[in-house]
Each structure stands twice: as C-alpha cells, then as structure tokens.
Amino acid sequence: MLATVHHVTNDDQLLAQRAGEGDHAAFGTLFERHKGHIYRYCRLMLGDDDAAADIYQEVFINFYRACRTGQVMHNVRGYLITAARSRCLNSLRSSQRLSTLEDDELISYSPDETASDTRDHLQKALGMIPPQYREALVLFELEGYSYDEISKQCDISLGVVKNRIYRAKQALQKILGPILREQRFDESGENEY
Amino acid sequence: MTLHEEITALLQGDVTDPERVAELMHVLAVSPEKQSIFIEQIQLTRALTSLAGSITPPRRADHAIWQGLAAVDAAIAGTPQGAPVNASEPEPAEKPAAGARLGARFGTRGGAAVASLLLMGLLFGVAYMLPGGTGIGERTNSAGSERALPGMVRRATAADEVMLASAFMAAESPQLHSLTDLRSQLADLNARYQAQTHLVEALRSRGERVRVVYRDRPAVDRVDLQDAGGNGPQDRAMQPAAPKQLESEPQGQSQAPVAIARVEPRAPVTSMRSNAGISEQPETARRIAMNGSSPLDEDLPAASGPWQVGVRDQFRLSLPRVYGLAGNRTILFDKELLVSYHFGGENSLLSAMRLSLAAGETQFAQIFHTNVGGQPSDSIVMQSPSLQYARLLLAPELVRTKSVTGALEIGAGLATSQLKPVGPMASFGVNLEYRPIDRFSINVGTSAWMLWSQHLTSTVVSTNLNGHLGFAVGF
C-alpha cells in the first residue's frame, strides 16, 4: 500500500481562494499537489491514456473556473476526485463498460503476450475487473484513502468497501497468479517451494 | 472468513488481535500453499505500488490545462459586471438532459437524440393537455418557475418573452476543451436543435410570431433585451442593451438557428442566460466541494425521499363481458398497496429505478379451450374469482424532470385464492409519476397482467389490462 496520507488542509482552501483571484502560482501549487492522484485515478479507471487525459484536463480547468467564479473550496481534494469520478463513470457508462464480469470470465483470462512487464499485466488485469471493485482498490491501495473516505466518496457502506477491495485483490490474484508465480520462480531460480 | 480474506485483512492492517496474528503466522509457516497465497498478495501490493509510481500525467495534458487557464481568465475578464458567469462547461455533477440520459441508457448517441425528441414531445403534449393553458407559450409565461422547458427555454420575467437558447452557443464556447465533452454534447445538441426546430414549427402552426435568428459570429453567453418603448417586436429584438451581447440579424451565412425570440410589445427589460440547460451546475459543484458528498441527492426526484408508500386504484379494462351472468362488470376497481424504494441514478453504477412490493386483489379474464368427444374446439371466457396477489415491481426510469418521472414497470409475483396458490403472475406496464408538492406524488399508468394457472392437466394463461390511478407519500 502506498504510504501516502492526505490531509485536507486550510492551505488548500487558501490556495484555492488565491487561485480564484487569478493567482496562477497558487493554482500551480494545488495542481502539482493533486495532479498525480487525479490522473492516476482517471487512467486506471478508464484504462485509456487519451480519455484519461481529457478528463484530467476538464477536471482541473473546471476547478480553476469554479475558483474564479467565487466558489469556496473547503475540500479541494474532495472536489477534484468527485469531479473526476463523475466524469469517469459517465465515460464508462457511455461506452457501456459498466457491466460486471463474472468469475468465469476472469478465470478464462490468458496473459497478454504484448504486456512487457508485471506493470503492464497489472494494468491490463485492472481493466478486466469490474469498475466498482477497481475503483475501491485504486482509491485504497494507490491513493491512500481510508475505508471511511472511500465509503463517503462512493456512497457505500464500510462493509461493501472492504468487500470490494478484497474481491478486487482476489480477482487480480486469480488473473495474475501464474505471472506472479513465474516471476517468483525466475527470481528465486527454484522450480517449486 | 477464508484464509484468503484473512491474509488480505492482515496485510491491510485489519487484524489486530495478537493471538489471531500468531495463529495466522503459524498457518502460513507450516503450509507452502498458503505461503504462496501470502507471497502473491505481497507481490501484488508491490506491483500496485510500482504501478502507481509509473503513471504520470502527460506533459501535453498539463500544457493544455495551463492554456485552459488563460481561456478561463479571458472569459472571466470579458464577462460584464453583474452578468451571470458562463457555465457552459459542465461541472463535476454533470447532469445531461433527461432525454440524453435515456438515450445513453439505450447505448447510442442516436438513441439520445431520439429520446430527447420523445421527451420534448411528451412535454408539449402535457402542456397542451393540462387545463388552464392554451399551449407551450402561455404555459411557459404563466408558470411560476424560472425554468420553462428543461434545458431549452429560460423565462426571464413573469411575462412577455421567451428566449430559446441555442445549443450551438455552448458548442461554440471557447471553454470546451476536450473531445470527450464535445462528443457527448454534440449528441445532446443535435437533439436540442431538432427539438427547437419542432417547437418553432409548432408555434408557427398556432399562429404565433416567431423569429429565428441565425448566427454568423462566435457565441455569446448572455442576451439582453431592452424595452424599446413602442418599438415593434421586430425592432426590439434587434436593439441590444449591450451590442456585444446580442447576435445580429441573420446574414444567411449559417443555417443553424441560434436563438428564437418571441417578443410581444411593451416587454420589460429582461436579462437571461442563454446557456440555460446547464446554468445550475455551479451550485451543484459548490455543494459537492463544500460537503464532499455524492451528488446522488441531486438526481433523486425532487419532491420525494427514497422510500414511498402508496395506494393505487386498478381499473381493469379488458375483462370481457361474460354474458348471462348477473352482476358482471367490464370495468372493476381494486386497491393495491405499494411500498417502494428508489435507488441508482446519476453518479451511480445503476440506472435510476424503483423497487416496489405491492399487494392487492384482482380478477383475470380466463380463457379455456375445450375439445370433448370429437366436437369442435370451443373457447370459454370466464371471469376469475377475486384473487389476492403480491408482486415485486422493478421500475427503471425512462424520463425524469424535476416533477415528473416516467418509468417502465416490470412485475412478477404470486396469486392466491383463499390462501391457496393459484399460480405465478407477471405484469408489464408504464407509470407516470407527477410530484406536485414535496413528498407527495400522483401516479397514473397502464399495464398488462398475466396469470398462469392450472386447469385439469393444462396450463391456462389468464390476462387482464389495467389502468391505474394512485398516490404515494415519500419519506
């Protein structure tokens, strides 16, 4: 798990207020602080560089416009991730990629020959699991959100959050198991435990 | 809890009981198979961490954002004092037109256009049918609400003027930066454009004076009309309070109608936003930013909570007249009690829908076929006895405005007679819900019902066709 810990600080609110006055440097500070999370979320949710970049741009430009039009940003990170989430869901919905995958389909996955390393495999595997599981896993493991934060963000119960993370991991392990085992053998030089 | 779950919980820091940790460690120490699961989980976590570090925003996207800031600054600087700020860019809780949402559910952009047209047609029909009004124009002018037709017409004052905003204004806005947005808006805009064209035809067919203004310049965000004191409608529409804010007379260079003004003499000074359909978005975004909450509430029907309790009168229309039997009626009235829960919607993975549990009493038209002793087959139509039933209704929403929701209703249940099962039943229909005040709704609709029952050794399908009228209270 990433050790990233986010704090909603008054600093963000102050910077957003200054950005609202046209201070690009203040916006730049906020942008640098949050851009990685937002792009990563979009990229992993959509699995597509171009679509992720589009939404990433929209989110920040809209954020800036909102600041300029006098909106008070009490929670910059919450605003950004909510905006990104809403757009990603719209995009997935419009491309009809919200259907869930059954376990049988996961089992039938065969490692992609074009994937060059574990990261590639992992990205492709993430794209295979249902978006709601993927979202919970991305927010928890990659963005450092707590269960409680994910619960509020996605408007689901804590139990459902935990279950989704667990199921996401289980699905990934099912998909990537052979690759991980192969990698382990390669590293250890052994053929069996 | 399976071992897999326990390992996940351990790695996520959810296992805090020392004894449980020790026990788990022991299990892992003695079982190579379980060690393998454990190691794979660690590998997976490591891979995820590595993946997180490898995904960085492309520079061209960062560059585009900085360019976008300049465009926003320019737009803000160019906005007249006191004028509404341009909200042509959808905010996070983007809420497309109801028709477009319906179309999206159908899965195609063409579907969105068709659905938008259907929605507009429905609104026109309602406007004509409701008592006290003579049509769209009157209703838009006499209504107390600022919004006349969702996403298309915004009324500026209590009387006189209706400005139909052009969808093309939004399309031409310099603040649209992404292909994704453009694609999704284009479908919406096409539908709105067609709807506007239909509206013009409708108004003209009713003898209304309608002027269509064609644009040959970049979009504006705001249109001011000023009382010209005695000028005729045509003149007044041509006299802008601020010349930069009103488009010119048609030059014939574009065939896209961008604004349709219907102006009566002696209109007061009015000011209106032209991008009416999405002008509420900043408020939505502000609420999200302040609360960090889901915009789901925004998408629920405005005047009801997720739960509803209601009663319906079922008017059974299709029971055939059974001649020779005294007291048979062709239209019967039965009560049905419903408890409903609303879920899904925008920003949710599910479409908005309602799940209801209903119970009541009804009768069916039963048709039996006989073929006894080599005689020709006869059809005997009978009216069933009163049957008690319970059914589950799933009602995905097709259209939704602030006060009206149209939904399919697909039901399945069981019918009984004197507590003995008669057979399964199913129903399929449509329901229109109108919410005149908070927490109260009126329902009207129609449905076809089927009952499968056993007669001797064969299965008989009985039917009825219902109309219903009812009310519900939300909480």
- Quote the pLDDT of residue B194: 72
Nearest CA in chain B to A176: B44
What span, in angstroms and rounded, lies between the C-alpha atoms of B291 and A43?
Answer: 26
Chain B residues close to A122, C-beta within 8 Å: 44, 47-48, 51
Q: Per-residue pLDDT tens for B288-311?
A: 334 433 333 334 344 456 888 999
How many angstroms separate the CA of residue B7 from the nearest CA in chain A? 10
Q: Which residue is closest to B343 within chain A, CA to CA?
A: A155
Residues 6+ apart with CB under 8 A from A57: B61, B64, B65, B68, B177, B178
Does B57 sit within 8 Å of A82, measured CB to CB?
Answer: no
Q: What is the DSSP letter of B245?
A: G
Q: What does the pLDDT read at residue A182?
A: 72
Out of A40-49, B160-169, B389-398, which region has the weakest mean confidence (pLDDT)?
B160-169
Half-sphere exposure in the Cβ direction for B462 (13 Å, CA): 26
A153 interfacial to chain B (CB closer than 8 Å) = yes
Specify the pTM.
Answer: 0.41
d(CA B473, CA B306) in angstroms, rounded, equals 11
Please tell me which residue of chain A has the smallest CA distance to B281.
A66
How confident is the model at residue A186, as a pLDDT? 62
Q: Is B232 strand, coil or helix?
A: coil
CB contact under 8 A, A75 and B41: no
pLDDT surpasses 60 at A36: yes
Greater confidence (A84 vs B457) lies with A84
Residues of chain B with C-beta less than 8 angstroms from the C-beta of A50: 179
Burial class (CB in 10 A: 0-12, 13-18, 19+), A32: exposed
How far is CA B93 from each of CA A86, A187, B179, B292, rounded to the nearest angstrom? 6, 47, 18, 12
Q: Nearest CA of chain B to the CA of A9: how many Å?
A: 14
On whether any CB of chain B is under 8 Å from the CB of A86, the answer is yes
Task: Show the 3-state SS of B2-59.
Answer: CHHHHHHHHHCCCCCCHHHHHHHHHHHHHCHHHHHHHHHHHHHHHHHHHHHHHCCCCH
Question: Which comes out higher in pLDDT, residue B316 or A57?
Answer: A57
Minimum distance, in Å, between the CA of residue B13 and any CA atom of chain A: 10
What distance lies between CA B462 and its chain's CA centroid? 34
DSSP B286-347: HHHHHH---THHHHS-TT--SEEEEEEEEEE--PPP-TT-TT--SSEEEEEEEEEEEE--TT
Q: How far apart are CA B286 and CA B99, in angstroms?
A: 25
| Spatial CB neighbours of B114, under 8 Å, sequence gap ≥ 6 | B103, B106, B191
- Please indicate if any CB of chain B lies within 8 Å of the CB of A59: yes
What is the structure's pLDDT at B382?
A: 66
Q: Residue A96: pLDDT above 70?
A: no
* Portion 112-151 of A in contact with B at CB < 8 A: 118-119, 122-123, 131-132, 137, 140-142
Looking at residue B338, what is its pLDDT? Answer: 92
In chain A, residues with a C-beta closer than 8 Å to the C-beta of B178 are 54-55, 57-58
N-term to C-term CA, chain B: 37
Report how far residue A62's alpha carbon sits from residue B68's, in angstroms, rounded to the nearest whole number: 9
SS (H, E, C) A98-139: CCCCCHHHHHCCCCCCCCCCHHHHHHHHHHHCCHHHHHHHHH
Write down the number of H helices and E strands in chain A: 9, 0
pLDDT at position B108, please? 44
Q: For A145-182, how does the pLDDT look when each residue is reduced to its tens digit (9 = 90+)?
A: 888 888 888 888 888 888 888 888 888 888 887 777 77
- Does the pLDDT at position B372 exceed 80? no
Q: Is the pLDDT of residue B441 over 60?
A: yes
pLDDT at residue number B17 = 82
Chain B interface, best mutation among A138, A155, A164, A169, by max B CB count within 10 A: A169
Q: Once rounded to an integer, what is the mean pLDDT over residues B265-285?
A: 36
The beta-carbon neighbor of B89 closest among A62, A84, A141 is A62
Query: Does the pLDDT at position B286 exceed 80?
Result: no
Residue B173, pLDDT score: 46
Quick: pLDDT tens for B310-355. 999 887 766 554 444 444 555 667 889 999 998 877 656 777 888 9
Does the pLDDT value for residue A29 go beyond 60?
yes
Answer yes or no: do A71 and B347 touch at CB < 8 A: no
Q: Which pLDDT does position B235 carry in this prediction?
A: 36
Instruction: Tell me the two tokens of residue A6.
Output: 């986010």
SS3 B109: helix
Q: Read off the pLDDT of residues B67-121 as tens digits, 9 standing for 90 and up.
A: 888 888 887 776 543 333 333 333 433 333 343 443 344 444 455 555 555 566 5
Mean of all residue pLDDT scores within chain B: 63
CB atoms A68 and B76 under 8 Å = yes
DSSP lists the bridge partners of residue B311 as: B337, B471
ipTM for this model: 0.80
